[in-house]
Amino acid sequence: QDRVVWKGILDDAFDRFVGVIVDNRPSLDEALVRQLATGQIYTAGQALDHGLVDEIGYEEDAIEFLKEQLNLESVQVVTYRVRPGWIDLLLDQVESRDPERQLSKWLEAGVPRGMYLSSWGALPPSPLE
């Protein structure tokens, strides 16, 4: 039963994802977007070739483009991070001596994660900070 619920949620999110791309990339039709949206990672050059991006640049380039488009002198960039809980901090002390675990954590650091910015504001600061 849980699998059915999660599959419905993921299918809905995927359909919305495809819809956003189709709506904002007139050169791509839905069939092509679904063909490209396999979960595969594309290099910047491949994404450009497929019409998934307009140009290749760095974060600074994107910020400058945004400022120009919105006629702003400055923008505030928000960086999300996952705050460790006390158990994570405790376990990290034990695991920090295990080189295999450290390699695994290092490799997982670059894995994308779904995050959500709530409309009601930021959470109160952690007592550990």
Return the structure tokens found at 80: 């999300």
Could you count the other beta carbons within 10 Å of the beta carbon of residue 84? 13
Higher pLDDT, 119 or 19: 19
Residue 100 has what pLDDT?
72
CA atoms within 13 A on the CB side of 71: 0
Cβ contacts of residue 117 below 8 Å, gap of 6+?
Answer: 78, 80
Which region holds residue 51: left if phi is over 0, alpha if psi is between -120 and 50, else beta? left
What tens digit of pLDDT does each residue of 77-129 get?
A: 888 776 767 676 666 665 556 667 777 776 676 666 665 555 555 555 544 44
Amino acid at 30: E
Identify how many contiguous H helices and E strands the chain contains and give both numbers: 6, 0
DSSP character for 77?
P
Could you count the other beta carbons within 10 Å of the beta carbon of residue 33? 19
What mean pLDDT value characterizes the chain?
A: 81
Could you count the other beta carbons within 10 Å of the beta carbon of residue 58? 8
Cβ contacts of residue 129 below 8 Å, gap of 6+?
Answer: 83
